[in-house]
Structure 1
């Protein structure tokens, strides 16, 4: 007999109504409710994954919200639609529950993905015995659906010992949340704690540090000319750009520290014309904010030393998220989560990664924050993205009990 029914497939799990027999002592009410919720949770996940909602697809975002909002309204949440703060992005949703306790909890999740419209038609949601697959299944629709399900469990269990739970579902995280920055800044300052439902790190960890991210754009201006008749009259912007990109060789491409990687490259639009314009984007990830100054300075110095005369190089930056550094407030939340997970006879690890998120904004505002509370996944931003089905019910139990505990006893905010 399988003593851990959360590891079963959707069909098998539908019949489970009792908590597993394990040596640890889980909260039977929460575990039973989480186990029983599994079929509906996975069904909702399938529905939202099967809606294209890449960043900038406002119509797709609206369709996802139209599926999620009724679930939240049904448990008494008040819903506020918050227009995007930048053009071309989907509206955000803020759902609020009011209770009778002390803790003011903020949950943040995003429904935008990196995949273009039409992706679902090519590879819709599917499951095998171990994993679920599909665009955004882990990053981050699995976490958003988990949060919705946890709030439904609180309602079903009549758990209201919190002052407030605010759930921000945003639509532009994958590009640094340009559509929600002011809203996030307001919400994190109103909260006692921020919980982020980004996917858990493999093999089974919460995220206690994240790198900050930014983009350095190189734009080279040259001179167009006929590539056959008078190429000597041109000033090849593409060739100069290749020279400038060589600066990347001085910096790591992977690892736990600073990384810098070429992500986009554009030059020319006709095969018989010397290109007069070329651009490249360099994605930079840093553990500390001052690391970015060093790499930016290197590109700025290179721009002043062109290899092709009469070309000009502009260096501009677009910030995304600051780093989430290792810090005592996050460590305390992680320790609390580990204790809850031990209820299930499971060990919760702690980890960090180069994926930036909104938790860095919360921590910077002095609000304790912890990340990676969604189901465990991998293959993010690729055709191989997956969600570990064995993590679905344990992570739902963890998240639900963490909400209950933080509602009753919120952490203290840092002084800023």
Structure 2
């Protein structure tokens, strides 16, 4: 049998295949756009011989796609390739951040997080099938539409599917040093609403009570609670429509990251303490979606990581492993105690910005890692 490390991976071929993925923009909150991306992937999975299911979206979000890949024991639990196809970039970002290559770098919205990794791991399957190589364990692919907003609509689907499998591969982008993630910090989201008293800003300014001003003060207080082990960030702030009106309602969203569950619980308590029903301006704080702590050093995960390090050494690079912030759907599978290897996708920089890009040499590097993992897990 051919060594999976010797499969004919080609970076130029992968870039050509990635181009329509990146140019099919898929911001989370645009279900139709996400579903267009699911159409692209559904077709590719079918072309690979997969038995493909389209799982309708809910909560106003996009669909999911699940594919049982060809195998003598197809449908049995084995390896789950788990990824998301939504991005943080709104429609039209492709006009200011076009898919383009400059030397050894390639740019594009969602290329690093995480369409690049998803594509590479599918390309590894494509090359294995073309070479007639059957993996020891059957592979199932699950692509979801809502990871960038905390996975509110598909967590149950992910957990139910993951429990059927022995190993979970999550090709989120690699850590800054190129390393994998073997644990993740907890993430909590909060929705805040300040309510004041409206008035005409030019005629009766003193009669009003500005929800914007009150929320702005709370933003400073909230972000001042940040420590190295538990952070607080206000990422959404919405209010006002007419400049000549004192705004009576202001909404905001807060993200908190904590290294341990105990620290997260403390952070949640601090956030909930901002609830106030007294005074001229009230503040309501409600919990949003939460990602649980995925504790590092779990036996099954560490065995997978050890194998990945061994493979990386054969390819010619060193693979580190660590816990990380920036939650992913690996939080859920790791929290369940399922062997999970996360952030084994492409290397790059500046995800979630208008400079998002990948290092092209990581495409073949990670495809070889993927092919060898498919072939050695369960062997």
Q: Structure 2 length normalisation: TM-score?
A: 0.92
Determine which of 251, 260, 266 is the counterpart of 1:279: 251
Would you say the 8 A contact 2:152–2:289 is kept in 1? no
RMSD: 2.1
CA distance in 2 between partners of 1:138 and 1:53 (Å):
14
CA distance in 2 between partners of 1:315 and 1:202 (Å):
34
Q: 1:279-358 residue pairs with structure 2 within 5 A?
A: 279-304=251-276, 309-328=279-298, 329-358=300-329
Q: Deviation per CA, 1:14-47, whole angstroms, max 9, x where unpaired?
A: xxxxxxxxxxxxx963233243x43322211112
SS for the counterpart of 1:374 is coil
Structure 2: gaps of 5 or more residues = none
Q: Deviation per CA, 1:220-278, whole angstroms, max 9, x where unpaired?
A: 1111122233333222222222232232254227x4x2111111222322222222111
How far the C-alpha of 1:305 sits from its partner, in A, is: 8.5
SS for the counterpart of 2:252 is strand
How far the C-alpha of 1:61 sits from its partner, in A, is: 2.5
Q: 1:239 to 1:211 in 2, by over 3 A?
A: same
Compare 378-387 and 218-227 and name the one that shifted more: 218-227
- Name 2:176's counterpart in structure 1: 202
Q: Does 1:71 align with 2:41?
A: no
Q: Does 1:84 align with 2:57?
A: yes
- Name 2:237's counterpart in structure 1: 265
- Name 2:339's counterpart in structure 1: 368
Structure 1: gaps of 5 or more residues = 1-26, 409-416
Would you say the 8 A contact 2:87–2:110 is kept in 1? yes
- Name 1:5's counterpart in structure 2: none
- Name 1:47's counterpart in structure 2: 20
Q: Structure 1 length normalisation: TM-score?
A: 0.85
- Name 1:247's counterpart in structure 2: 221
CA distance in 2 between partners of 1:179 and 1:293 (Å):
23
Would you say the 8 A contact 1:214–1:285 is kept in 2? yes
How far the C-alpha of 1:217 sits from its partner, in A, is: 2.0
Determine which of 129, 136, 142 is the counterpart of 1:155: 129
Would you say the 8 A contact 2:274–2:285 is kept in 1? no
Quick check: which has more Rg, 1 or 2? Answer: 1
Would you say the 8 A contact 2:276–2:284 is kept in 1? no
Would you say the 8 A contact 1:98–1:163 is kept in 2? no
SS for the counterpart of 2:69 is strand
Q: 1:302 to 1:364 in 2, by over 3 A?
A: closer
CA distance in 2 between partners of 1:319 and 1:124 (Å):
32
SS for the counterpart of 1:31 is helix
Q: 1:233 to 1:260 in 2, by over 3 A?
A: same
CA distance in 1 between partners of 2:203 and 2:148 (Å):
45
- Name 1:23's counterpart in structure 2: none
Q: Does 1:122 align with 2:100?
A: no
Compare 242-251 and 71-80 and name the one that shifted more: 242-251
Would you say the 8 A contact 2:301–2:338 is kept in 1? no
Would you say the 8 A contact 1:85–1:178 is kept in 2? no
